[in-house]
Amino acid sequence: MNSIAPKAVVFDLGKVLLDFNYARAARAMAPLSRVDEDAFRLALDQSPLLMRFETGHLTPQEMFDEVVRTTGYRGEFAAFAAAFGDIFTEIPEMIDLHASIQATGRPTYIFSNTNGLAVEYIHRRYPFFRTFSGYVYSHEVRCMKPQPDIYAAVEKMSGCRGAELLYIDDREENVLAGVGRTWQVIHHVSVPTTVATVRQRLGLPHPTSP
């Protein structure tokens, strides 16, 4: 274990603080298209189209136009944006962990491969999301984890380097890129393990049972 106490904590968003499921968006939108739910989901979930959107090469309107072109979607942009955003559910234990870290005065950052529609929806829907010290998004930096430039953007925003940063992410390749920059990292596999590890690294007391 690294002996340096982290000065800041960096959270991935999807599957760490919020779970997500593109099948929900497909279920809402496929009936207004020429394709079935599975095909609609495949047009969105980890697709080349989504990658272009999440690296800032498509605006929300251009993303919508591409979805219309590829699926025959007949809904309005507002309905598309609402369904595209409504794929998230909170992971309460991780949100509570963030609140515990924040209570110590230690800065926290969101570090996410994401897009403007998702960010707008989450910011409006989930109050906890508005309380971070800063946000680094792939669609703004125009590259995605695990590419080096987006990690450099976190370092620039936080003013921290190397082991001063504690980074939590569910994807191993992203965590390994953090290791390559000598960040302290936690590969998020299970909520209880991550919560216990973070509390130990930061010297946070474990919550007592009611």
**Is the pLDDT reported for residue 71 higher than 90?**
yes
- Global pTM reads 0.94
- Reported as a pLDDT band with limits 50, 70 and 90, residue 209 is very low
Task: Assign 89 to helix, strand or coil.
Answer: strand
Count the neighbouring beta carbons within 10 Å of the beta carbon of residue 119.
19
Tokens matching residue 98:
């963030």
pLDDT at 210: 45
Sheet with 165-169, strands from edge to edge, namely 134-137, 108-112, 8-11, 165-169, 184-187
CA atoms within 13 A on the CB side of 72: 9
Locate all alpha helices (DSSP H) within 90-147, ordered by sequence: 92-103, 116-125, 138-141
Residue 46 dihedral angles phi and psi, to the nearest 5°: 55, 30
Note the pLDDT tens digit of each residue in 138-191: 999 999 999 999 999 999 999 999 999 999 999 999 999 999 999 999 999 999
- Reported as a pLDDT band with limits 50, 70 and 90, residue 7 is very high
Task: Assign 58 to helix, strand or coil.
Answer: coil
Check if the beta carbon of residue 88 is closer than 8 Å to that of residue 125. yes
Average pLDDT over residues 109-118: 97
**Is the pLDDT reported for residue 1 higher than 80?**
no
Average pLDDT over residues 89-107: 97
Say how far residue 191 (Cα) sits from the centre of its chain: 16
Tokens matching residue 205:
């007391």
- Reported as a pLDDT band with limits 50, 70 and 90, residue 208 is low
In this structure, what DSSP letter does residue 206 have?
P
Check if the beta carbon of residue 126 is closer than 8 Å to that of residue 112. no
**Domains with residue ranges and CATH for the chain:** 8-19+88-202 (3.40.50.1000), 22-85 (1.10.150)
